[in-house]
Amino acid sequence: MVITAVSGIEIAQSYGNSWMDDVDFVTGRNVEGKLPGYSWCAVSLNTKVKDRYFGVGISCIIANGTSCIERLIDGPHYEMVIKDGKLYAGNLDGGIDVLDLNTLQISKLYVNGDEPVPFVRVFDGKLFVETYNGKYVGDF
């Protein structure tokens, strides 16, 4: 799973001397009135979500473009982690968006009111988040 930001990612060949044709990892041109995106943060899953692993098949992108990519959670995010079957994504508009990877239900956690949470990490089995005004550890 990835968080995307503005621009695109391509695959370099020959140590950067050429690019793989027809491959550009973007969420699409002008998606929902916004710019396309590149991988800002990525996490790996040990289990399937929606009966598949969320990897990227280059042949699918070449053949089908952005229909190979599925958005599971909306919002401006910076970092995310997976803990106990849930994806925790720090939302830059405020709080933490939580996606249950089994049910795909989305919930929200708030830290110090509704402060933006750019940094989300897991240390020693606990969730660690940082807002612009402080650092917090716990299960919120």
Residue range 70-84, pLDDT digits in tens: 778 888 888 999 999
CATH number at residue 129: 2.40.10.480
Classify residue 113 by its DSSP letter: T
Residue 45 pLDDT: 75
Classify residue 15 by its DSSP letter: G
Domain boundary among 71, 89, 110: 71
On whether both 82 and 60 belong to a single domain, the answer is no
Domain boundary among 71, 91, 111: 71
Residues in the chain, overall count = 140
Domain boundary among 29, 52, 71: 71
| Cα distance between residue 89 and residue 73, in whole Å | 9
Mean pLDDT, the chain, integer: 77
- Number of domain units in the chain: 2
pLDDT tens sequence across 46-64 = 777 777 666 666 677 677 7
pTM of the model: 0.70
| Cα distance between residue 98 and residue 106, in whole Å | 6
pLDDT tens sequence across 95-105 = 999 999 989 99
